[in-house]
Structure 1
Amino acid sequence: MAISKAEDAMLEPQLDKVRHVKYWTRCIKTLLPHQYTSNDSNRMYLAFFIVSALDLLDALDAVSNEEERQGYVNWVYRCQHPDGGFRMWPGTDLGARSNPENVQWDPANIPATYFGLAILLILKDDFKRLNYEATLAWLPKMQRPDGSFGETLVNGRVEGGQDPRFGYCATGIRYMLRGSSTGDLSVNSRTIPDVNLDTFVRCVRVAEAYEGGIADAPFHEPHAGYTFCSLGALGFIGRLNTKGPVDETPPTAPCDPGAVVSWLVHRQTELTDPDAGVDSEFTAPEDMDDVRRTENGKASGAQHDGTVPAHQDPVGTTAISIFDLLVDGAGMNGRINKVADTCYGFWSGASLHIMQQPNLYDQEAIRRYLIGKTQHPVLGGHGKFPGDLPDLLHSYLGLAALSLAGCKEIKPVDARMCLSKEACARLPAIWQSFSAGR
């Protein structure tokens, strides 16, 4: 029997905002689960997820008082490096014991600096305690001759991968400190060089794949996370090409924006089960009112109208849930022929927003996927896949993706910066204060 529109509306999954707030309150008020112990040296990005998530839920002021929020600000500044930038955590700060031999163990970190500045922005800090001059001077040193950026500077050598994640964070730092201005800056009678924007754009160009996405390096498989980082970075520096053909003076990217958009649109999928078979349409026979599954020798089923979403054959795969039958949602994946994953709801969806094509993916379907399938019904937060326990990364990106997909219970998100538009709106005042001080 077919489900009526009224019945379908009753099945619309709802964001359990109360549970989400409780999940993030536990994260900020108590110790994180023991699985995060190995991430202790990456504490800055964990702090970003927690503080920014509570901001998106409009709960930061409710779960913390002014003294606590100032304590969070002080902790971020505690991680500030004397030579510019921020550490990921205070544990590498050697203080008075620092010397030329051990300084290599205490470098500033590009992602930590981006996340640290973002936290300060959310917490309404005015950046007046920021070592502005040193951070701007440190940034060009983090760029390699090929245009890519690294993670740390150790003994004069740029260390870390060459993928767009570091380029995204580096250009994001530059954007938060100087906005859209270009060229060298004069700060306190000192000339501070800009990063080489042209070589960075060319670095992105050579990683564009033939099928439309952007990879971490030439001839590698395109990936939604790398695509987001590349597009976001190009947006930060004002070199994003959304129309085509590509410009050369100055150079812009991507070279074929239509191919990038097409590749991103095809990231939306109903394939949700990591153990499922190939993506296929399955229409049950007309007399098949009870779709049955066999798991561990036991049959289970649910009444349905005879049509099963394309993510999996209900007879040929395992672990189907009631929401797979009743919640007609479609998430996003990060690569061709992969299952949907909570985080790619943001990486892929935000990329389409950056490319000024937010209407080309099914926002209602992504909401139903994130709320009906990966939102944890007991703990709050989001898991990576349906049925998974929540974790900080997927819980945060799930909220950000829902905001971009039109969920009214979450603050509007700036797709490029991956934080609330409310926090981003504080940047012009910061740029003005820096400009006045030069």
Structure 2
Amino acid sequence: MQQRLGRSIARAKFINTTLLGRKRPVMERVIDITDSDLGEDIQPLMKELETDTTAARHETLQSILDIFDACENEEEPTLTKDFHKMYLNFAIETPLPPQMTALDASQPWMLYWIANSLKVMGQDWLADDVKRKIVDKLFAISPSGGPFGGGVGQLSHLASTYAGINALALCDNIDSCWDRIDRKSIYKWLLSLKEPNGGFKTCLEVGEVDTRGVYCVLSIASLLNILTDELSEGVLKYLQNCQNYEGGFGSCPQVDEAHGGYTFCATASLAILRSANQVDIERLMEWCSVRQLQEERGFCGRSNKLVDGCYSFWVGGSAAILESLGYSQCFSKHALREYILYCCQAEGQPGLRDKPGKHSDFYHTNYCLLGLAITESSYTCAPNDPPHKIKCIPNSQVESSELTDINPVYGLPIESIERFIDHFESGPYS
């Protein structure tokens, strides 16, 4: 028995260090097996090994279960919208502290996260003076009208341009700001990022190539009415090759495990291309379903990882896109709603967070709100309609948080998307 257990531990160490490349030690539990009859009581190999992840999951789960137990007899949970609004408005009105200089290259992202959070909680919550501040900041970053970098003087980047276009879409064309977007320059730049395998660099010369780049290009191009056959050539094949044996999508063709963020990017991209039926939908839905953890009720982003509020949108949004295309609901919206409202809000702390024990931030506030909106609605789209025509139907079986209807493909309010796209329907480069 000891020899067998020794071989099992050695095998686990080999897998952990050699195959998976991990440097963290495997924790071994010492079991007294002097009595041969105790051999049957020895737990299976994986139950005898403890890693940082399993320990963290146990700690996180216990804190979540404590929250659920404490709220068991309370009334239906609610979103403390005014509290979160105060947090977001303070961020707009107050300079960030020096320790946040690491976010200097993420300025368009912060504008999008904050503005979108406000508009998701209330269609009229984004004040005109805030819209003007957003417009001024973005056109200071790119006076020519795009593409956009992460800050003034920084290289143009796909992620920054995606976030910048989203933020401008939220500004309701205040002061005719949409006419300042240089679609022709943006199109030529997007085309220059295109790779022979159908992917896109995120930045000229030094950018990586993965499914995030594909989604950013297709989102930008479809919103600005510059999506051409030349731009989308080879993209479907690229995405097909990113779906792996798990059913979800990795970052690059045939080289990565499935991940919630990459899966959303691929699923939304397929919806924009109107080609979702060209991948294995059944396995994709199964992958989304098993990402919802039964005890925590929220989503994790990968196999054997911790629950995280942002995947309420990355995985929940992927499932909502499939729902809009006529496929069945593949996760419990009621359970996810409980995780967001009970565990992603903290008494005395505005904004929404990853999980209990974490601090709120702009990123998680936005994506938790988008995920919450998905749990309180169902989605449908006519067979021949483009994805910006997705319809949102409120779920009458849950108490509504009175959030703005959102489009799961773009992560923006439906009304904002329709206005923005309608503005650019006159032609590709007007």
TM-score (norm 2): 0.72
Residue 430 of structure 2 is aligned to residue 426 of structure 1: no
CA-to-partner distance for each residue in 1:316-342, whole Å, 9 max, x for gaps? xxxxxxxxxxxxxx1011111222110
Q: Which residue of 2 aligns with 1:298?
A: none
* Offset at residue 85 of structure 1 (A): 1.0
Q: Deviation per CA, 1:355-414: give whole Å up to 9, x if none.
A: 124632111111110110121221221111113110111111010100011053211111
Cross-structure match for 1:382:
352
Offset at 1:84? 4.5
- In the TM superposition, residue 83 of structure 1 has moved relative to its aligned partner by 8.8
What secondary structure sits across from 2:224 in the alignment? helix
**Paired residues for 1:255-334 under 5 Å:** 256-270=280-294, 310=295, 330-334=297-301
The amino acid across from 2:418 in the alignment is A
Contact 2:244 2:257 in 1 (8 A): yes
Structure 1 residue identity aligned to 2:417: C
CA distance in 2, matches of 1:37, 1:428: 34
Q: Which residue of 2 is the match for residue 10 of structure 1?
A: 74
The 3 A distance-change label for structure 1 pair 35 and 368 is farther
Q: Which residue of 2 aligns with 1:152?
A: 203
Aligned partner letter, 2:425: Q
After superposition, residues 60-139 of structure 1 pair within 5 angstroms as 61-62=124-125, 64=127, 66-80=128-142, 82=144, 84-90=146-152, 92=153, 106-125=154-173, 126=176, 127-139=178-190
Distance 1:34 1:410, change over 3 A: farther
Specify the alignment match of 2:334 in structure 1: 364
Q: Give the letter aligned to residue 134 of structure 1.
A: S
- For the residues of structure 2 that align with 1:111 and 1:48, how far apart are their CA atoms? 11
1:164-199: CA deviations, max 9, x gaps? 1111111111111117x634xxxxxxxxxx31x242
Q: How far apart are residue 35 of structure 1 and its match?
A: 4.5
Q: Which residue of 2 aligns with 1:323?
A: none
CA–CA distance in structure 2, aligned partners of residues 83 and 34 of structure 1? 29
Deviates more, 1:333-342 or 1:354-363: 354-363
Residue 47 of structure 1: aligned partner: 111
**Structure 1 residue aligned with 2:87, among 11, 23, 29?**
23
What is the number of equivalent residue pairs in this alignment? 330
Partner of 1:227: 263
In structure 2, the residue matched to 1:324 is none
Task: Find out whether 1:403 has 2:373 as its counterpart.
Answer: yes
Question: When you count helix as a share of all residues, which structure comes out higher?
Answer: 2
Which has the larger strand fraction? Answer: 1
Q: Write the distance in 2 (CA, Å) between the matches of 1:345 and 1:68.
A: 27
> What does the per-residue CA deviation read over 1:73-123, in whole Å, with 9 as the maximum and x for residues that have no partner?
122122226495112211x1xxxxxxxxxxxxx432111111111111110
Matched residue, 1:140: 191
8 Å Cα contact 1:143-1:149 kept in structure 2: yes
CA apart distance, 1:429: 2.0
Structure 2 CA distance for aligned equivalents of residues 352 and 63 of structure 1: 28
On the 8 A contact 1:84/1:136 being kept in 2, the answer is no
2: distance between equivalents of 1:124 and 1:166?
Answer: 26
2:105 counterpart SS class: helix
Deviation of 1:51 (Å): 0.9
CA contact (8 A) 1:111 1:169 kept: yes
Q: CA, structure 1 residues 266+200, in 2 after alignment: closer, same or farther (shift >3 Å)? A: same
Instruction: Give the RMSD, CA atoms, in angstroms.
Output: 2.2
* Distance in 1 between residues matched to 2:248 and 2:133, nearest whole Å: 41
Contact 1:81 1:87 in 2 (8 A): no
Is 1:169 matched up with 2:216? yes
CA change 1:344–1:358 in 2 (3 A) is: farther
Contact 2:78-2:401 at 8 Å conserved across structures:
no
Match of 1:410, as an amino acid?
Answer: L
1:207 pairs with 217, 239, 242, which one?
242
2:259–2:302 contact (8 Å) kept in structure 1: yes
Deviation for aligned residue 1:33: 4.8
Q: For residues 329 and 263 of structure 2, what CA distance do their matches in structure 1 show?
A: 18
TM-score for the superposition, normalised by structure 1: 0.71
3-state DSSP class of the match of 1:340? Answer: coil
Query: Structure 1 residues 434 and 9, CA, compared in 2 at 3 Å: closer, same or farther?
Result: farther
Deviations 1:128-159 (A, max 9, x none): 11112111111111111111111211xxx3x2
Counting aligned pairs with the same residue, the percent is 25
User: What secondary structure does 1:165 align onto?
Assistant: helix
Q: Which moved more, 1:212-221 or 1:342-351?
A: 212-221
Q: 1:238 to 1:63 in 2, by over 3 A?
A: closer
User: Would you say the 8 A contact 1:400–1:418 is kept in 2?
Assistant: yes
Give, in angstroms, the shift of residue 124 of structure 1.
0.8
Q: Does the CA-based 8 Å contact 2:288-2:330 persist in structure 1?
A: no
- Matches of 1:73 and 1:338, distance apart in 2: 38
Q: Aligned partners of 1:347 and 1:80: how far apart in 2?
A: 29
Structure 2: give runs of 5+ residues left out of the alignment: 1-70, 377-399
Q: CA deviation at 1:62?
A: 4.8
